[in-house]
């Protein structure tokens, strides 16, 4: 199974550590880094900075929110990074959340699934250098060299899986191996060619700061439709029920057991066996999201440990 790296954008850490993570991934020989965006760096700007401070690592930009960025903007941004960085650039798309789309950007989140489907169709010719001829973009052609980017679709529900079946790759985020297996089975009923990646948070030597960082990242998902059912299935229905009473986040944090974190993360001595579970579920690629703490800024130590583990696995096979 292929190992790549995704930037964490941890809210309790300095924003520039994302660049440190990418540089460590490049130095350690990881083939690809995923460059998303949250509340700090613009994804295209950060990807360009990564390209200028690393030597070889390929770049996947996104998932980008299709309700916020239209196909023409995405194609122009991808071509810009590929040209300026001199590096292969892939594009990932997603629907994001109502918080980001509606409250931060003032755009409607309703209809995001349709926008995701349309973005896949509109971006294919644009990224290959053809003139756009789609309701989402008409008459534009890249003036820069076409990046010929692969397309990835972030999926969790059935509609997104159907859209992902028309892409080169589907990515799953915050997912248990059991849930990943079901989504991949749905995908394989539609196509045998779309690759599957899973973003999985990792800490090779987790101290309390790392555990708390993961716990804070999970708290907002426990009550969410689909995610709550996933955590309930993983053995934590009481935590999900409590989360859906809408307690104060501080109180909910204290109710999340460490075992729940282990259901969706790679931690310490269990990393090797957990990677095997994702592989058995049909995941082709695990994108490591390294925890970043005072003792492991940028997650470089975790990336080093996972690179060594992966090398040992290759040698054994």
pLDDT value of position 312: 60
Read off the tokens for 46: 């950060």
Do 315 and 214 contact (CB within 8 A), yes or no? Answer: no
pLDDT value of position 313: 53
Encode pLDDT of 60-94 as tens digits: 999 999 999 999 999 999 999 999 999 999 999 99
pLDDT value of position 315: 46
Q: What is the mean pLDDT of the chain?
A: 93
pLDDT beyond 50 at 25: yes
How far CA 100 is from CA of 64, 158, 218, in Å, comes to 11, 22, 17
Do 87 and 44 contact (CB within 8 A), yes or no? Answer: no
Tell me which of 38 and 292 has the higher pLDDT: 292
pLDDT beyond 70 at 43: yes
* Region of poorest pLDDT, from 7-11, 19-23, 97-101: 97-101
Encode pLDDT of 99-140 as tens digits: 777 887 888 888 889 999 999 999 999 999 999 888 888 899
Structure-derived torsion over alpha carbons of residues 59, 65, 66, 69, reported in degrees to the nearest 10: -80
Bridge partners of 200, per DSSP, are 288
Largest CA distance in the chain: 55
Encode pLDDT of 175-227 as tens digits: 999 999 999 999 999 999 999 999 999 999 999 999 999 999 999 899 998 99
Q: Determine the Cα–Cα distance for residues 176 and 262; give it in Å rounded to an integer.
A: 9
Encode pLDDT of 247-270 as tens digits: 999 999 999 999 999 999 999 999
Q: Determine the Cα–Cα distance for residues 221 and 280; give it in Å rounded to an integer.
A: 25
């Amino acid at each position: 199974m292929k190992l790549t790296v995704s930037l964490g954008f941890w809210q309790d850490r300095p924003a520039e550590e994302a660049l440190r993570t990418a540089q460590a991934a490049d130095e350690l020989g990881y083939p690809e880094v995923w460059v998303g965006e949250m509340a700090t760096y613009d994804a295209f700007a950060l990807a360009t900075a990564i390209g200028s401070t690393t030597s070889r690592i390929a770049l996947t930009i996104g998932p980008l929110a299709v309700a916020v960025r239209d196909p023409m903007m995405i194609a122009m941004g991808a071509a810009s990074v590929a040209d300026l960085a001199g590096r292969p650039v892939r594009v990932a798309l997603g629907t994001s959340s109502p918080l980001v789309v509606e409250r931060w950007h003032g755009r409607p989140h309703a209809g995001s699934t349709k926008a995701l489907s349309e973005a896949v169709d509109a971006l294919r010719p644009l990224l290959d250098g053809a003139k756009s001829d789609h309701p989402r973009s008409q008459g534009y052609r890249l003036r820069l060299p076409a990046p010929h980017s692969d397309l990835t679709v972030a999926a969790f529900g059935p509609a997104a899986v159907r859209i992902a079946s028309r892409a080169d790759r589907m990515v799953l985020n915050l997912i248990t191996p059991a849930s990943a297996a079901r989504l991949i089975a749905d995908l394989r009923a539609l196509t045998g060619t779309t690759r599957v990646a899973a973003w999985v948070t990792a800490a090779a030597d987790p101290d309390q700061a790392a555990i708390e960082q993961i716990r804070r990242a999970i708290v907002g998902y426990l009550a969410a439709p689909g995610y709550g059912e996933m955590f309930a299935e993983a053995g934590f229905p009481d935590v999900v029920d409590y989360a859906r009473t809408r307690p104060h986040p501080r109180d909910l944090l204290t109710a999340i057991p460490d075992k729940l974190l282990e259901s969706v993360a790679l931690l310490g001595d269990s990393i090797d066996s957990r990677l095997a579970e994702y592989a058995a579920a049909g995941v082709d690629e695990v994108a490591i999201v390294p925890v970043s703490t005072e003792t492991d800024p940028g997650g470089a130590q975790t990336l080093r440990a996972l690179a060594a583990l992966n090398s040992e696995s290759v040698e054994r096979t």
